[in-house]
Structure 1
Amino acid sequence: MSQAENFAFDNVEQLAEEKAAIKAAFGRAAATYDKSAAFQRRVGNDLLKREADWTGKTVLDLGCGTGYFSEKLRDLGAHVVALDLSEQMLEQARQRCGDSVRYVSGDAENLPFDDNHFDAAFSSLALQWCQDLSVPLRELKRVVKPSGKILFSTLINGSLHELKQAWQDVDLHQHVNEFLTLNQVNLALAQAGCQNYTLECKPLVERYPSAMALMRDLKGIGATHLSEGRNAGLSGRARFTALENAYRKFQNEDGSVPATYQVGFGAIHND
């Protein structure tokens, strides 16, 4: 095997390990996800309103999680196929929606559907976990019918900047994932062959009673896997006390602390 072939093989293995780690992190969080997902519901509700009529449409809910938006789409008259990488998340969705929704265990980067299968697709805060955003976007274009619509949201560079800065005051390790810039999302859309689309970046701020409350919510939704391979769950009370102290420079007048997210909202009109 040549050096180039060895590198390609190692890269494939590394990507597979990365995906398995993400799947495991969300699987562990399946039972606690809904208690910690206020921000995710806020973003998804905003995304949902960007399509006026879901009635009678066959819709893919990609990265469905516990099925919160699968249920909403169903109640708006859609025929829903809920897909997630985590079987534990799908089980939570099944408990929520019952037999009114079809459940599929699958990968956003290799969707197990025929071409032109869906009238529309909905994916909220799932695509940022993909290694190359253009790949799931291309797959979504493939499985959605011509003239269909693809709605997605994803986190943009600058998200959780307060948490990132506070951790930098504590140590030199990475504790917050890096996200694509808006220009990089536009590039991924172009690489996926998307021509007729809109993309908006919207800052959304959540308030927490403490930095630790924010950290608990991130753990509760399974967002603890770092793309650099570091474990976000560092131990040591002194370290977390230092984080709490460092975060106070962002404190609001009411004593709460902010967590700012930069959210990209995309709408693709499939041509």
Structure 2
Amino acid sequence: MSEALVIQEETNDKLAISTAFSRAAARYDEHAKFQRQVADKLLALLPDDLSGTTVLDLGCGTGYCAKALLQRGASVVCADLSREMLHKARQRCGNENVTYHIEDAEALSFSSSSFDYVVSSLALQWCDDLALPLAEIKRVTKPSGQYAFSTLVTGSLKELSAAWSKVDEYQHVNRFISTNQIKIALAQSGSVKYQLDCPEIVMWYQTALDLMKDLKGIGATHVKGRSRSFTGKKTLQKLEMEYNKFSNPVGLLPASYQVCLGLVTL
């Protein structure tokens, strides 16, 4: 594959991801209960008092983390690939002690050693090579600073993936990296002093369709290898039948997420 073709494919992927999240921005918060749970766990790794610090919220989405950081006294820089997400973040956080930037996590425009802390919650899994954004995050964090991130790892949405595998041969759920691959990416980025915690978080749904509505509602619709054809009623009925095999005694369906929370000290 030529270098030009690789660059074009990467550009197309980033455009597709940005477009998906932009479309979801207006109603994102209605579907983001899981994302807020993870954000709260990530924010718990940082000091309660951030007065006098400057924090980058990378992949800020609608500004949930940014708002909490502002409340702790930080000056916040919100960065996201989606202009519409930044618009929603501005609506939530206002303009006092906060600025907004369209940014690619793999090629940040900020000067080196710009931030006391960097926070990135459930954004880095959209990068093909985790070492690239981690290296950029390390670069823009001050030598005495810290960065905290959360990302999904292998085993996330295992029930949905298993159910779809009984329906057709297409890829409907993104593949996630392992915890060991995260450790390798950290080493490649030059981040050597870190702690990782990888809890499982299970969300419960009435139907598989409800789960997929949440995934669509947050913009998590870009899946490599997915069929471009329309998903018909019979296909969805078969999916429900397969997913129901995972139901608990009261008929609720699990959506399991394997989350990796990382805190890196420089």
Report the residue type matching 2:252 in the other structure.
S
Secondary structure at the counterpart of residue 238 of structure 1 = helix
1:98 corresponds, among 78, 94, 101, to: 94
Structure 1 residue 201: deviation in Å?
A: 1.4
Contact 2:151 2:259 in 1 (8 A): yes
Q: Distance in 2 between matches of 1:165 and 1:95?
A: 39
Match 2:143 to one of 141, 146, 158: 146
TM-score, normalization by structure 1: 0.95
Amino acid at match of 1:239: T
Which digits, 9 at most, give the CA deviation of each residue in 1:13-54, with x for residues without a partner? 111111111111101100111000000000000000011232
For 2:202, the equivalent position in structure 1 comes to 205
Kindly state the Cα deviation for residue 231 of structure 1 after the two structures are TM-superposed.
5.2
8 Å contact 1:109–1:139 — kept in the other structure? yes
| Code of the aligned partner of 2:105 | A
Check conservation: 1:164, 1:175, Cα contact below 8 A: yes
Q: 1:136 aligns with which of 118, 133, 143?
A: 133
Q: Secondary structure at the match of 2:203?
A: strand
CA distance in 2, matches of 1:73, 1:222: 24
Equivalent pair of 1:224/1:231 in contact (CA under 8 Å) = no
One-letter amino acid of the counterpart of residue 213, structure 1: D
Paired position in structure 2 for 1:85:
81
Which of 191, 202, 219 pairs up with 1:222? Answer: 219
- TM-score normalised per structure 2: 0.97
User: What is the CA distance between 1:150 and its match in structure 2?
Assistant: 0.2
Number of aligned positions between the proteins: 264
What pairs with 1:8-47 in structure 2 (closer than 5 Å)?
8-47=3-42
Runs of 4+ in structure 1 off by over 4 angstroms are 231-234
Is 1:60–2:49 an aligned residue pair? no
Quick one: distance in 2 between partners of 1:132 and 1:227? 15
Structure 1's 246 and 266: CA in aligned 2 closer, same or farther, altered over 3 A?
A: same
C-alpha contact (below 8 Å) 1:224/1:233 kept by paired residues = no
> Within 2, Cα distance between the matches of 1:99 and 1:40?
24
Secondary structure in 2 aligned to 1:11?
helix
Equivalent residues of 1:151, 1:267 under 8 A apart: yes
Q: What's the RMSD between the two structures over aligned residues?
A: 1.2
Identity %: 50
Does structure 2 retain, via aligned residues, the 8 Å contact 1:157–1:262? yes
Out of 162, 165, 170, the residue aligned to residue 162 of structure 2 is 165
- Counterparts in 2 of 1:47 and 1:74: CA distance versus 1, 3 Å: same
The answer to whether the Cα contact below 8 Å between 1:225 and 1:232 also exists between their aligned partners in 2 is no
In structure 1, list runs of 5 or more residues that go unmatched.
Answer: 1-5
Give the partner amino acid of 1:120: Y
Paired position in structure 1 for 2:264: 268
The within-5 A match list for 1:186-265 is 186-228=183-225, 230=226, 234-265=230-261
2: distance between equivalents of 1:201 and 1:266?
9
AA aligned to 1:129 is W
Once the two structures are TM-superposed, the CA of residue 55 in structure 1 deviates from its matched residue by: 2.5
Q: Specify every segment of 5 or more residues in structure 2 that has no aligned partner in the other structure, as ranges.
A: none
